[in-house]
Amino acid sequence: MPWLLLAPSITLLLLLIAFPLFFALYNSFYFWNLQMSPQPMAFIGFGNYEQALGSSTFMLALRNTLLLSIGGTAIQFALGLAIAVLLTQTLRGVTLVRVLLIMPTTIAPIVVGFLFRYMYDANGGLLPWVLQVLFIPLPAEGLLGSSTTALMSIMFADVWQWTPFFAIVLYAGLLSVPDALVEAARVDGASRWTILTRIKLPVIKRTVLIILMLRFMQLFNTFDLVLILTRGGPGASSRTLSYSLYQQGLIDFNIGVASAMTWIIVLILNVILAIYIYIAFRDWEW
């Protein structure tokens, strides 16, 4: 009986993911440029994999992606935790702040891209002006036009959008920690920092792990922001794996190489996911 209930969704999802995966697997062994032919053109074994892994841009994209996902997740967690603690203080207006704070998270990432492209604009954007007022030096090509700041600018937009997510979820978590536990620690003379890191966070470990995982994976797949803000440039300085894949497949129409990259990315993601599942879901009751 339960299988009958699960069947419709599992069948549709299997069809929807099995097709792309097999499609990619098959074509990853063929030379195929969609502009030259509507069909795969020649069997070339692992040639596409060699080309994908051998190119310096792929390694750069992998480095950028890891930098973005690890850096972004860490900053958002730290900043979100600080705001969550701030929200637990008895202050007037704190409820209103909590309700409105989540707004950036609700916006479509592509729209956040529009917003920050306007904010970053080298000729009259608000952020360059703010930085100038604060005497912070800017690259002459603009924040998005310089290879030293392009990736950081993408990360900054993501931090803006998703820090509230961490803040709101961690705030709810901190509130759920039993008062008695905190009181006991305080009587024992524990500092606020110790109470936060040694008692509260371990108690809400499950929450912490799941949001870290969700965010890391979303950041790993970052595409919309790159598409709108930098198109991976200048050069390949802000290219992520997802954007590389898009460029290879839907701009250059190299379906063969893109298919090989798809499988490389899927394998990397599965390894990361497996590690996460092992850590985060070990003592999970289903």
Beta-strand pair 30-31/42-43: antiparallel
The residues that bridge with 42 in the sheet, in sequence order, are: 31
**Which range of residues in 41-49, 67-75, 136-144, 158-166 is near other proteins by CB under 8 A?**
158-166
Question: Could you tell me where the DSSP H helices lie in 177-204?
Answer: 179-187, 192-194, 201-203
Rounded CA separation 136/132 (Å): 6
| Contact flag: residue 172 with other proteins (CB under 8 A) | yes
| Burial label, 105 (beta-carbon count in 10 A; 0-12, 13-18, 19+) | middle
Pick from 63, 207, 234, 252 the residue near other proteins by CB under 8 A: 207
**Which range of residues in 56-64, 134-142, 144-152, 221-229 is near other proteins by CB under 8 A?**
221-229
Pick from 224, 234, 237, 252 the residue near other proteins by CB under 8 A: 224
Rounded CA separation 236/53 (Å): 15
Site map 4..23 versus other proteins, x via CB under 8 A: xxx-xxx-xx--xx-xx--x
Pick from 154, 211, 212, 229 the residue near other proteins by CB under 8 A: 211
Pick from 61, 83, 229, 260 the residue near other proteins by CB under 8 A: 83
**Which range of residues in 68-76, 119-127, 136-144, 193-201 is near other proteins by CB under 8 A?**
119-127
- C-beta of 42 vs 251, nearer to other proteins: 251
Pick from 104, 139, 142, 234 the residue near other proteins by CB under 8 A: 104
| Burial label, 48 (beta-carbon count in 10 A; 0-12, 13-18, 19+) | buried
